[in-house]
Amino acid sequence: MGLEEKIPSGFVLTTVEKLAGYMRKNSLWPATFGLACCAIEMMAVGSAAKYDISRFGMEVFRASPRQADLMIVAGRVSNKMAPVLRQIYDQMAAPKWVIAMGACASSGGMFNNYAIVQGVDHVVPVDIYLPGCPPRPEMLLDAILKLHSKIYDEKLGSNRAQIIKEVELAAMNAKPTIEMKGLLA
């Protein structure tokens, strides 16, 4: 009935990359990094009330960054909080991922002023930007699932170095937003 019946002679061939990706994506431990409104929605996802993140094996929000590999930046990051956030990110063991949850963490949101960092990507590299103010719990789950598939397809070793190089090159050659015309073109 199970998977084992589909496997010929009890073994399976795969690549190390796929295997590592499979393991990593299914053992993602988020760090509690609740800041503002989004943190409450993150807690709603974390508690078993309705959304139940434990379906994806992630209900254990780690309080210590050393035991976590996903940072969900849930809320606005102030200039006073930014160094703290960076220190926590540095304390997390690699490989690690970051979700910028909500408009404020992604871009500063509606608070374009002296106090707020205009996007947490000024401080740490971000893997997933999640819009919304605050995003619904379902949106957070969707972002996490998207991150899972991203982790699953992550390359290792020289392949990874190659991809990083390509991505950096693409970023260097990308059109700056000010030159993008969108529908105005």
Partner 1 sequence: MFGAKGTGDTSGYGGLIRTAASTGSSERPYGSYFDEVADDLERAYPMFSEAIERVVVDRGELTLHVKREKLVEVSKILRDSLKFEMCMGVSGVHYPTDAGRELHAVYPLLSLTNNRRIRLEVSVPDLDPHIPSVVEVWAGNNWHEREVFDMFGIIFDGHPGLTRILMPDDWQGHPQRKDYALGGIPVEYKGATTPPPNERRSYK
Partner 2 sequence: MSVFDPYAPSRDTTEGTVYSVTGGDWDSLVQEIGSTKEERVVVNMGPQHPSPHGVLRLVLELEGETVTEARAGIGYLHTGIEKNMEYRSWTQGTTFVTRMDYLSPLFNETAYCLAVEKLLGITQDVPERASVIRVMMMELNRISSHMVALGTGALELGAISPMFFAFREREIVLDIFEMISGLRMNMAYVRPGGVQQDLPEGAIPKIREAVKLMRKNFKDNTTLLVGNSIWMKRTQGIGYLDLAGCTTLGITGPVLRSTGLPWDLRKMQPYCGYEDYNFDVITADTCDVYGRFLIRMNELEQSLRIIEQALDKLEKLEGAPVMVADKKIAWPAQLAMGGDGLGNSLNHIREIMGTSMESLIHHFKLVTEGFHVPAGQVYAAIESPRGELGAQVVSDGGTKPYRMHFREPSFNNLQATPAMSEGGMVADIIGAVASIDPVMGGVDR
The whole-angstrom separation of Cα 103 and Cα 48 is: 25
Nearer to partner 1, 72 or 77 (CB): 77
Question: How is 159-173 classified by DSSP, letter by letter?
Answer: HHHHHHHHHHHHHHH
Strand order in the sheet with 30-31: 30-31, 70-74, 97-101, 128-130
Is 115 marked as binding a ligand?
no
User: Per CB under 8 A, which region of 5-13, 41-49, 121-129, 157-165 contacts partner 2?
Assistant: 41-49
Is 75 marked as binding a ligand?
no
The whole-angstrom separation of Cα 116 and Cα 131 is: 17
Interaction residues for partner 2, span 124-183 (CB under 8 A): 133-134, 136
Q: What are phi and psi of 22, to 5 degrees?
A: -65, -45
How many residues belong to the site for partner 2 (CB under 8 A)?
42
Is 93 marked as binding a ligand?
no
184 binds partner 1 (CB under 8 A): yes
Instruction: Please count the other Cβ atoms lying within 10 Å of the Cβ belonging to residue 57.
Output: 13
Question: How is 11-45 classified by DSSP, letter by letter?
Answer: -----HHHHHHHHHHTT--EE--B-SHHHHHHHHH
Q: Is residue 87 classed as helix, strand or coil in its secondary structure?
A: helix
Q: Which does 64 bind (CB under 5 to 8 A by kind): partner 1, partner 2, none?
A: partner 2
Let me know: does 42 contact 83? Beta carbons within 8 Å: no
78 binds partner 2 (CB under 8 A): yes
User: Per CB under 8 A, which region of 22-30, 44-52, 140-148, 156-164 contacts partner 2?
Assistant: 44-52
Nearer to partner 1, 21 or 108 (CB): 108
123 binds partner 2 (CB under 8 A): no
* Residues tagged in the binding site annotation for [4Fe-4S] cluster: 37-38, 104, 133
Interacting residues toward partner 2 by CB under 8 A: 32-37, 39-41, 43-44, 47-50, 61, 63-67, 75-76, 78, 80-81, 84-85, 87-88, 90-91, 110-116, 133-134, 136
